[in-house]
């Protein structure tokens, strides 16, 4: 099977990117819960999604989502406690979770405070319990938000990371040399079983890795984010003009 669709929406700036992405998230959730009891959403860390979370938690958006039907997960987490400023959970809590009526039991954070390997095992168990999956199957997230680093990483799948080779486990703990720290991340097979992947990237520092966007799928992946190709799912990129500024330019130009 191959990715059903890859859409790219280029916006003027991060402000309009956040607004359009938030509208898209609402549409995805509302459309999904028409047919299904609940919707499984994996959030991204980093700064780019913060504007999206702030909008979803704002007066104009919060009442458009049936929060009791939404289950929040994370695509990755830093190995820190949930009250640490580095925590992806804390960032989403402040901008979104604390501002919407989502039942606490619907928020499934990655236990970054635990020993990394234990945290990975525990989170995989959390996912298996939720998706009621037996061994050998993969979970199917309905919506996954992902950022893209200036080195082409996504979630905590960094260039050269062993987690990129993981074919069995759902959650991997890896020591990221360049960050001198451990990270926890969902693995490529999990991301590639997602129904809808949304990439969010803004700023000129992302332009170089996005340059090869148009040949995604037809040429070998150079960056980890290009390995995200949901087998029977859809992908949408929300990029601001600065991040998209080199797309289509020939190599070397
Ligand atoms: C994290 C993210 C990471 C992030 C990229 C882009 O834990 O930091 O999951 O993958 O999305 O590094 O970060 P920015 O959006 O801040 O550029």
Query: What's the predicted TM-score (pTM) here?
Result: 0.96
In the prediction, which pLDDT does 219 show? 78
Average pLDDT value for the chain: 95
**Residue of the CA atom closest to atom 15 of ligand 1:** 48
In the prediction, which pLDDT does 71 show? 98
Cα angle 167, 169, 173 (rounded to 5 degrees) comes to 110
Distance CA 83, CA 216 (A): 38
Distance CA 74, CA 85 (A): 16
Structure tokens at 10: 């280029």
Percent of residues, the chain, with pLDDT higher than 70: 97
CA of 34 to the centre of ligand 1 (A): 31
Q: Which atom of ligand 1 is nearest to the CA of 185?
A: 9
Q: Which atom of ligand 1 is nearest to the CA of 156?
A: 10
- What domains, with CATH codes, occur in the chain? 3-240 (3.40.50.1360)
Distance CA 29, CA 10 (A): 22
252 pLDDT more than 60: no
Distance CA 190, CA 168 (A): 10
Secondary structure string (H, E, C) spanning 10-75: EECCHHHHHHHHHHHHHHHHHHHHHHCCCEEEEECCCCCCHHHHHHHCCHHHHCCCCHHHEEEEEC
Structure tokens at 45: 């860390």
37 pLDDT more than 80: yes
247 pLDDT more than 50: yes
CA of 225 to the centre of ligand 1 (A): 11
In the prediction, which pLDDT does 216 show? 73
- 239 versus 135: the higher-pLDDT residue is 239
Secondary structure string (H, E, C) spanning the chain: CCCCEEEEEEECCHHHHHHHHHHHHHHHHHHHHHHCCCEEEEECCCCCCHHHHHHHCCHHHHCCCCHHHEEEEECEEECCCCCCCCCHHHHHHHHCHHHCCCCHHHECCCCCCCCHHHHHHHHHHHHHHHHCCCCCCCCCCCEEEEECCCCCCECCECCCCHHHHCCCCCEEEEEEHHHCEEEEEECHHHHCCCCEEEEEECCHHHHHHHHHHHHECCECCCCHHHHCCCCCCEEEEEEECCCCCCCCCCCCC
Q: Which of 104, 214, 227 is CA-nearest to residue 163?
A: 227
CA of 146 to the centre of ligand 1 (A): 8
CA of 156 to the centre of ligand 1 (A): 8
133 pLDDT more than 60: yes
Distances in Å between the Cα of 158 and the Cα atoms of 73, 76, 152, 179 are 20, 12, 7, 10
pLDDT class for 220, splitting at 50, 70, 90?
A: confident
In the prediction, which pLDDT does 253 show? 47
33 pLDDT more than 80: yes
In the prediction, which pLDDT does 39 show? 98
251 pLDDT more than 80: no
Beta carbon of 161 within 6 Å of any ligand 1 atom: no
Predicted confidence (pLDDT) per residue in 148-207, tens digit: 999 999 999 999 999 999 999 999 999 998 999 999 999 999 999 999 999 999 999 999
In the prediction, which pLDDT does 134 show? 67
Percent of residues, the chain, with pLDDT higher than 90: 89
Structure tokens at 86: 């580095």
The label of the residue with tokens 């959730």 reads 29
């Amino acid at each position: 099977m191959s990715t059903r669709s890859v859409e790219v929406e280029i916006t003027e700036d991060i402000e309009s990117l956040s607004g359009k992405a938030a509208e898209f998230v609402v549409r995805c959730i509302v459309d999904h819960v028409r047919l299904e009891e609940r919707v499984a959403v994996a959030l991204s860390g980093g700064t780019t999604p913060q504007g999206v979370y702030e909008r979803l938690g704002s007066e104009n958006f919060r009442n458009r989502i049936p929060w009791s039907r939404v289950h929040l997960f994370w695509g990755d987490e830093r190995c820190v406690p949930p009250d640490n400023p580095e925590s992806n959970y804390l960032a989403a809590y402040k901008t979104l979770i604390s501002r919407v009526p989502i039942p606490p039991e619907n928020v499934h954070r990655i236990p970054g405070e635990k020993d990394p390997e234990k945290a990975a095992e525990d989170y995989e168990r959390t996912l298996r319990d939720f998706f009621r999956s037996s061994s050998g199957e993969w979970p199917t997230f309905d919506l996954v938000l992902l950022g893209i680093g200036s080195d082409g990483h996504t979630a905590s799948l960094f260039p050269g990371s062993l987690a990129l080779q993981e074919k069995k486990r759902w959650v991997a703990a890896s020591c990221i040399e360049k960050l001198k720290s451990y990270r926890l991340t969902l693995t490529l097979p999990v991301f590639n079983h997602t129904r809808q992947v949304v990439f969010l990237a803004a700023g000129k520092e992302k332009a170089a890795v996005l340059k090869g966007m148009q040949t995604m799928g037809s040429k070998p992946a150079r960056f980890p984010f290009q390995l995200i190709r949901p087998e029977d799912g859809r992908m949408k990129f929300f990029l601001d003009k600065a991040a998209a500024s080199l797309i289509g330019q020939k190599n070397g130009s």
